[in-house]
Amino acid sequence: MSECAAYAKLQERFRRRSLIGDALGILDWDQATTMPEGSAAGRAEQIATLSVMRHELMVAPGVADAISQAIVDLDAADVCADDWRRGNLREMRRIHMLADALPGDLVEAAARANSACELKWRSARAENDFPSLLPSLREVVNLVRQSAYARAEALGLMPYDALLEEYESGTRTVRLDPLFDRLATYLPDIIPRVLERQNARPSPIRPVGPFVIADQRTLAVELMRALGFDFDHGRLDVSHHPFCGGATGDVRITTRYNEDDFTESLMGVMHETGHALYERGLPEEWQFQPVGAALGMAIHESQSLLVEMQISRSRSFLAFALPRMKAAFADAGPAWDVDNLYRLYTHVAPGFIRVDADEVTYPLHIVLRYRLEKALLSNDLDLADLPGAWNDGMNELLGITPPDERQGCLQDIHWPAGLFGYFPTYTLGAMAAAQFFRAARIAMPDLDKDIAAGRLAPLLSWLRINVHGQASRHSAEELIVRATGEELNPDIFLDHLESRYLLDN
């Protein structure tokens, strides 16, 4: 046997794991877009079965020994030991440890409960009926709690840190608590200043609909292509909640349309296109291996928010997009002006819905969810009291109270889908997005002119080299340092907010 035989066997095992994940990705996409409601029970069983198969691959006898042997082999054989292989083995070990901490019956139960609760959430949200969701959501939260405590014990972490480890390895509450406390203090202070300045200027004129859905889609597809989206390896569809999913080489994104406001759908498309560009930019030579996967959800969210917030809401991009918007909707008038659209796209107003929030108030939506998640996990908050706690938190942080549960605690799919520990990555991603974009501007002094002219390839090339193509070769912190020259710095994000919303003319 070769010196790297143990590592080669692990590669094949993780390749199979990745392919099962791809199958789950397509099943999830189908469930959210085209699956008939009557298929829900069968789909839950399919997802549960595949989830258990994937889990069993990771906890089978001999996997831990193979990882230990591969570490020894790679240390001894220079030919096998490069950054990519070491990174792959690091990720293999992390994935194995996370899986090995959970019994298979818990994985199966969670997959089945999440799938069923997600489907129940759709009707509960539409009918503004939190009590109808409560039994299935309680089951999901109970299973999340069991998983968190099992992983915490196995990994020597606090329970919420064990949840974070799945979505953003190395991130801990000891880091997030002061960061989010700072945002909870800083943003309520800056928002009145932003609103005062905003109110002293002409109010943006909102283009008047209706905007035909087919026309909205045509515009979205044109701008997706301009950003570099490859429709030979991807799709745009409709779902209750916008997302990016699918499989390796087959990226599926979704949006939801509002005929009264085309910007709602368009910004969702831009956000998900950022995710899709990241997925399509991962190195082909490391497909189906852990090191070839996206590096945690904070980096993933940084790519979606870089496209949506840093690029798509900039004057430069709007100068490029405006003629295409006017052509799509055959419209003209004072609303269809770059300065007006810029005021519209950067308009700040505390609102109830996270996905529609401006970038100044958005982090406060995350602070709220972070606090509630921790309270639910620790049993400091009973699930039945979630609507009231949500409303209290919204009033404290944003000074508004949702009029109903659909605009309150029922708005997100994450908790019904069992995604606890995910929300903090949105704000970490916003910070990284500002830092990446600043670095790109330094590297390309004419970047804003290029964007205004629709020359987006140079920026995509920079991202391919510095972010996408690096995949999981390095830790998130090291990737940020290599790309920007310093560790993640919240001040860069806050400077961006002040520059755009307090200084920009």
CA distances from 226 to 236, 264, 390, 457 (A): 15, 19, 39, 9
Q: How far is CA 62 from CA 58, 66, 100, 358, 396, in A?
A: 10, 6, 12, 50, 52
Percent helix, strand, coil in the chain, to 5, is 70, 5, 25
DSSP character at residue 202: P
Closest Cα partner for 467 from 290, 281, 275?
281
Widest Cα–Cα separation across the chain: 75
Give the rounded distance of the alpha carbon of 137 from its chain centre. 22
Q: Are strands 234-238 and 244-247 parallel, antiparallel or unpaired?
A: unpaired
CA distances to 170, 186, 370 from 463, rounded to whole Å, are 23, 30, 29
Enumerate residues 6+ apart whose C-beta is below 8 A from 24: 47, 50, 51, 54
CB contact at 8 A, 11 and 286: no
What whole-number distance in Å separates Cα of residue 254 and Cα of residue 411? 17
State yes or no: is 259 an active-site residue. no
| Bridge partners, 235 (sequence order) | 252
β-sheet with 244-247: strand ranges across: 234-238, 250-255, 244-247
Q: Which of 168, 272, 279, 308 is catalytic?
A: 272
Just list the catalytic residues. Answer: 272
